[in-house]
Each structure stands twice: as C-alpha cells, then as structure tokens.
Structure 1
Amino acid sequence: MSIDVYAMVENGSVVMLITWDGNSDVSTGGWAPPVDATMVKLPRYPQAGDVATKDSSGNWSFAAPS
C-alpha cells in the first residue's frame, strides 16, 4: 500500500493532517479513525521545490515545477 496524506474532518473542520496507508482494519495492523471523523485523501500536498503562488485574495497554491 502507498502512504498518502489525509485530512481528518470533524464537524466540517479539518482537525489534523496525517500520513496513512488507508488501512482501517486493525486486525491487519491498520488504524481506525475516530467514529465521528471522515478521512479525506488529499490529491497532492506541497513538496520541497514546489512553486508557491499567492493570489490577490491571499490564498496560496503550490505546483510542481515545470
């Protein structure tokens, strides 16, 4: 399994980011998120060397260098 970054969402707010393989079966060594949490796999997260851009609203975005 690959390790990815997930956002733990509770009551509509991100409460933490974790690296996780997505295995929630504790009988096979996985980790079970809290019952009231939703785990959202992030498609891509910033990495060293990324190009960082700030828009006129003050929001940052990150992209791999071309």
Structure 2
Amino acid sequence: MILRVLLAVFGVVEFLFPRRLADASMSLATTDDSEYELRSWVYTVARVEGLCIAALALWYGRRASSGDDE
C-alpha cells in the first residue's frame, strides 16, 4: 500500500512539475562539464508519464481495496 501511495505522489509531482523533475534527473545523470539540451516534447512526455503513473497507482489501490484480487 505504501508503494502505491509513493508512486501516486511521484506521478502527481511529475505531472505538476515535469520541467524541474526532468532537469534534476538529467543533472544527476550527466557530469558537470556535459552540455545537453532537452527537446520541448520531453516535458510533455514526462507530464503524460506522471499522469499514467498516478492513475495506475490509484486504480490498483482502488482495485485492491475492493477485494477483486485474483
């Protein structure tokens, strides 16, 4: 249950702040002397990804609480 909540929170944060999250991820993934420029569609894809992660986490949480696990 805690994992679903964390995933839902991460998805909402990624949906609301895609630019900050993508820029922070890229700064962690590259060295200080690396130059990179993200294309504008990357932030749109990050927003859609956040929405999907949050929706799936909430859907699985609702499914598990209703007792439909098989």
Provide TM-score, normalisation by structure 1: 0.24
TM-score by length of 2: 0.24
Larger RCO (CA under 8 A, 6+ residues apart):
2
Name whichever structure is richer in helix by fraction.
2
More strand by share: 1
